[in-house]
Amino acid sequence: MVRVAIISDTHVPSRASAIPDWVVDECERADHVVHAGDFDSPEAFDTVRSFAPELTAVAGNVDPGSLGLPEVAVLELGGVTFVVTHGSGPKAGYRRRVSKAVREHGGGDAVGIAGHTHEVMDEEVDGVRLLNPGSATAARPATRATMYVVEVADGELSVELLEG
């Protein structure tokens, strides 16, 4: 079994001063950490790298280009293919835009991970399961800090929402 911590939209320092300790603890306990963009600064990126045992991260719309992060990342864990993208763009069309990226980069069975809206989501869109962990720091417009912990084994996954 693989334990995956999924976070996004940390926005340190523009909207939050730090990543909450409980989020750091969950990430340290994971086998792999996924960050779906909007670190906000090189320092926030370095902080996440320091506590992530393994890290997959993508660029968000406010991330500096100097981070060198891809727009889309594909990874396979425990027999499940994940496609990670930030989901940048207008709110209208967000779900379709993300599900299209997942199909294009990972095929029909891939699970999509995205951020951008700061709204928790676990739903199927156009036949694709999409996960958005919200904001790990409660960065506005979020009203609470949230993240997912996903356990993956033999092509199956269980998803748990954690909030602080």
Q: What domains sit in the chain, N to C, each tagged with a CATH number?
A: 2-163 (3.60.21.10)
Q: What is the pLDDT of residue 137?
A: 98
| CA atoms of 151 and 23, how far apart (whole Å) | 16
pTM: 0.97
Q: What is the pLDDT of residue 156?
A: 95
CA quadruple 21, 25, 30, 32: dihedral sign: positive
CB 112 within 8 A of CB 121: no
Q: What is the pLDDT of residue 108?
A: 78
Strand partners, 51: none
Distances (CA, A) of 37 to 105, 134, 154: 17, 11, 28
164 exposure class (CB count in 10 Å sphere: 0-12, 13-18, 19+): middle
Strand partners, 125: 128
Mean pLDDT for back-to-back runs of 10 residues, the chain (164 residues):
98 96 98 98 97 97 95 97 97 95 92 98 95 97 97 96 96
